[in-house]
Amino acid sequence: MFFSKMHGLGNDFMVINNITQKIVNITPALIRNLSNRNLGIGFDQLLLVNQSKDPTIDFYYRIFNADGSEVEQCGNGARCFAYFVYLKGLTKKKKISVRTKKTHMILEILGNNQIKVNMGEPIFNLSLIPCEWTVQKNYYSIKIFDKNLKFGIVSMGNPHCVTIVKNLSTYEVESIGSLVSNNVVFPNKINVGFMEIVNNSQINLRVYERGIGETKACGSGACAAVATGIYNKLLSEQVKVSLSGGDLYITWKGLGNDMYMTGPATHVYDGYIFL
């Protein structure tokens, strides 16, 4: 099986072309073995590139977390996907229409490895998250370590909750993120963002991703954080999001409008492995 290793700001991916080669036996156990950073290839997520059966969609692809679970969306993965299909000659288009498990996106290759992604409109409808709450509010809370943790909830095609913290560098992202992500109030688990607001056009962000843990960057998490900030009138329409792996630029004009994310995608190497 031939594959490419890619990353978006350190959030890394194994990308498999399932168009020119046919891979039929991608199981959760195989993904867990491949994702192992000591005994396998090592990655946060696996992207499986498929032909689209819809003439209006250029590609269909599937996204799997390192634990083998399939998810709906990944912003950094979307940028890497766009760069991959262009780099490998699967398309000559610089504006690509793609579909994942639940999301349709437009990906635009800008040059210098920069990719712009139309992430669609952030979703605040609680029934689509899903979660145990039914009444829409600006903030929700659950008790963690005997303290109420307050957060906003939004979907970017995949579910996110976002909490505001004062000192991000010392915050217990791994332990608190795990407790929130796996809490019973989120039946499908949830990604957890920890946002430190620098000013109304810049934030620092760390994200605990369900099925993975903390990653160096999370594109959909960056979008969710900005959506939460703008929804609560804390941020402007254009925001620089600084993650441990680098910066993303998010633009959103508010409810009724699509959100756009711009950032890099990097091809690391090509390889093959015997299954």
Q: Are 229 and 203 in contact (CB under 8 A)?
A: yes
Choosing from 131, 161, 218, 223, the catalytic residue is 218
Active site includes 80? no
Please name which of 237, 230, 229, 207 lies closest in space to residue 220, comparing C-alpha atoms. Answer: 207
Would you give the distance in Å from CA 254 to the centre of its chain? Answer: 20
Q: Which residue, 82, 20, 27, 10, is CA-closest to 51?
A: 20
- Quote the CA–CA distance of 31 and 27 in Å, as a whole number: 6
The rounded distance, in Å, linking the Cα atoms of 85 and 89 is: 6
Quick check: 79 and 61 in contact, CB under 8 A?
A: no
**74, 80, 161, 223: which is the annotated catalytic residue?**
74
Q: Is 218 a catalytic residue?
A: yes
Pair of tokens at residue 175: 């332990």
Q: Name the token pair of 163.
A: 């909490």
Residue for token digits 């992430």? 119
Beta bridge partners of 248: 241
Give catalytic residues, as residue numbers.
74, 218
